[in-house]
Amino acid sequence: MKISLFYLFSYFVLLHYHINESTASPDNGDIYIIYMGSNKNSYDVILSSLLRRNKNALVHSYKHGFSGFAAHLSDSEAHQLTNEPGVVSVFPDPVYQLHTTRSWDFLQREISLLTDSQPRSNAPVLSSQGSDTIIGILDTGIWPESESFIDKDMGPIPSRWKGKCMEGSDFSSSNCSKKLIGARYYKDDDISAVTHSARDTLGHGTHVASTAAGVPVANASYYGLARGEARGGSPSSRIAMYRVCYDDGCPGSAILAAFDDAIADGVDLLSLSLGSSAVFAPDFATDPIAIGSFHAVEKGITVVCSAGNDGPSPQTVVNVAPWILTVAASTIDRDLQSDIILGNNKVIKGESINFSDLDNSPKYPLVSGGAAKSKSASEEDARNCYPDSIDADKIKGKLVLCQHKEGGFSMRAKQMGVKSRGGLGMIFINDATRLVASNWGTFPVTVITSTDATEILDYVNATENSVATILATKTIQKFQPAPTVAYFSARGPSTSTKNILKPDISAPGVSIIAAWLANDTSAETTPEGREPPKFNVLSGTSMSCPHVAGIAANIKSHNPSWSPAALRSAIMTTASQNNNMKEPITTQKGEVATPYDFGAGEVSPTGGLQPGLVYDIEPSEYLQFLCYYGYNITTIKLIAAQIPSGFSCPSNSSTNMISNINYPSIAVSMNGTTAPITVKRTVTNVDADEETIYTVTVDKPSEVEVTVSPSELKFTVDTKKLDYQVTFSASSSSAKRDLFGAITWKSKKYKVRSPIVVIP
């Protein structure tokens, strides 16, 4: 992929968003993954030969869902293995990053009141009854004692479950239950013995697991903030935790091992709130998530992944394989508001989590970073409050107003600099982060928009002794507009597969409250003088991913025979494109969101239970995708567990043919020509009413003519599946930007919507 200087610069200066791409062991060599696909014949021979040379080389072996292993190898050993029969690929072990309540109430209310879809008769609501699905979660582990994982009134563990509860440091088999039915962890010599356990030491996995499948917990809050009932999307689903992430990241070798075990254990769904950075996104053949999920989906296991946090720049979405359900992040209608009161009694609304003990009266001196410039600093650096650009004598005992532009020092670094120089509090000016509350503990910090900053600056410039105060955070409900697409949420199109729309869907991922560690005393989580919280508030696509995993589990419980593709289709075609003001969903800049921002739209918690029609995909279509992508039949036969008899790659395979995969969205490349392009789709009637008629409406992209044939689909008792074709004709060859629209099939009960992307 092409890497811009902006991405490279961002990667190095925003290191807290990224994790190093390899974990080297100086004594044993680097860790390499030797992926052998479905080829089991050569596995024992190659592994035995390796262990004869170095008995300590093996890190993980893969033998359930696919074949291969991870091992400490020298560069020359790794190169030699690439030529061994049965080896698909050999690549360095990557280390991936984590992509890191009222959200369910908001989603439910949005669907029932605000969408323009037709009501679904007798549609089930979110319920703790009737679900016995097993959600496998690859993350940082779990805190099993949390109230969110109580197994009261749960029935016996499903007999199909073949997993286990691994004992480890501070984790015994008794920590598992009828709710947490499985727990595994993956280690190698580079990981300290104290973390040899499925017990969560970071909090991320606990938060994710309770968002996906936590039981209802009344009166949950983060020290009084965001108070309400905390519950998961599928409260009666079982949880299986696979700890693959540690302090220094998530090794790809461990991720592959977890996929291998989860396939054998018997999970129904897998949720992964992690992935590569956008800058160094690997090819499918060297991506452990793409490889592992391919085999999981072959076995009927739905895989849900976060889209990444490298937005809002385009082409930053990760986890883009078409067999993965990829989730973007959006806000909910809850604002964590920390206001500013100026000396003229004007109130400016800000966003943050802080437990400020400042007086409510505006009596604290207020100074801008530019006015507090040190002698050696530039005006620009001082306005942005860069460390060492501020004169300590000019800010001591004062509130400091700071610009915050992306690509420089982090807010945390600036806050530490101001605090260490005696500053009393901070006001950041940043339009993007205004709706994402960061946690500042007891230090008074808030974030405002550039529009509101003008009013503060006017007051400061007109007042000789300007004063203000920053109020402690309060919870604001029914905030408008919501949802908006979170600024950090990774955007499409995918750099590797533009003819498949990614992300697929958006879900709540901003200021989400969920279960946490009971022993977390870190300053970032536990304010000074307080007990550790039972629940915490986090933002990221890490939080949106388990929302969709929980919804998918709920749909699966009502439709156990549905394939992963059918589940994804049900979720995508019933999404909402409107906010709680009955207007189009926007980005945090106020611009109307496109499918590159939120895929098919904001997920519905219940719409997918009765979607009317679904776009199903046979596993053989994913094999065809690999052909179109550029893999030859020999490689594909090694990768896939099952190859249909007589399968071969078309002689004219090209990336443009990817548009014909039976995806719930349509993306086509016009390639600078006005020649018509036609794609085919097949829909399956899953409504109890077998005799039904659907008619089509088209939201046509500008500068493109779109024709759907036939314009009516008649389903009968004997006709469950019907095909249709969509023809795109450019009205001119002058289009310079990607164009968006939608195709919607409507019956008396249902509306089945597919977004369109036309790439000029």
Q: Report how far residue 420's alpha carbon sits from residue 728's, in angstroms, rounded to the nearest whole number.
A: 61
Angle at CA of residue 470, ends 468 and 472, nearest 5°: 155
State the number of CA atoms in the 13 A half-sphere of 694 facing the CB.
Answer: 33
Q: Of residues 93, 105, 132, 139, which has the active-site annotation? A: 139
CA atoms of 474 and 300, how far apart (whole Å): 45
139: annotated active-site residue: yes
Tokens encoding 45: 């021979």
Tokens of 732: 């001119």
Q: Is 738 a catalytic residue?
A: no
DSSP assignment of 443-491: S-EEEE-HHHHHHHHHHHHH-TT-EEEEPPPEEEES-SS--EE-TTS--
User: How many beta carbons lie within 10 A of that of residue 691, not counting itself?
Assistant: 11
Sign of CA dihedral 551, 553, 555, 557: negative
Cα–Cα dist 165/167, whole Å: 6
Q: Is 99 a catalytic residue?
A: no
And the tokens for 470?
Answer: 């920053």
CA-to-CA dists, residue 19 to 25, 96, 100, 248, angstroms: 17, 6, 13, 7
CB-side neighbour CA atoms (13 Å) of 495: 19
Say if strands 399-403 and 364-368 run parallel, antiparallel, or are unpaired: parallel
Decide: 719 and 627 in contact? Cβ < 8 Å. Answer: no
Sort strands 739-746 and 692-699 into parallel, antiparallel or unpaired: antiparallel
SS3 708: strand
Q: What is the spatial distance between Cα 522 and Cα 501, in angstroms, rounded to a whole number?
A: 40
Residues listed for the chain? 760
Nearest CA among 256, 190, 135 for reference residue 553: 135
* Sequence-ordered list of residues with C-beta below 8 angstroms from that of 675, at least 6 positions apart, any chain: none
SS3 669: strand
- Per the residue annotation, which of 18, 204, 295, 547 is the catalytic one? 204
Catalytic residue among 542, 557, 576, 754: 542
Quick one: which H or E segment has residue 46?
helix 43-53
Residue closest to 190 by CA, chosen among 417, 419, 31? 31
Query: Rounded to 10 degrees, what is the CA torsion of 459, 463, 464, 466?
Result: -50
- If we measure between CA atoms, which residue out of 390, 394, 286, 323 comes closest to residue 631? 286
Cis peptide before 710 (omega within 30 of 0): yes
Short-list 423, 354, 360, 352, CA closest to 387:
423
- Residues 134 and 157 sit within 8 Å (Cβ to Cβ): no
CA distance 447 to 510: 15
DSSP of 242-297 = EE--BTTBEEHHHHHHHHHHHHHHT-SEEEE-EE--STTPPPGGG-HHHHHHHHHH
- Number of Cβ within a 10 Å radius of residue 407: 9
Provide the CB-side half-sphere exposure for 257 (13 A, CA).
Answer: 25
CB 515 within 8 A of CB 534: yes
CA dist 669 and 380 (Å) reads 43
Structure tokens at 333: 């209608």
Catalytic residues: 139, 204, 542
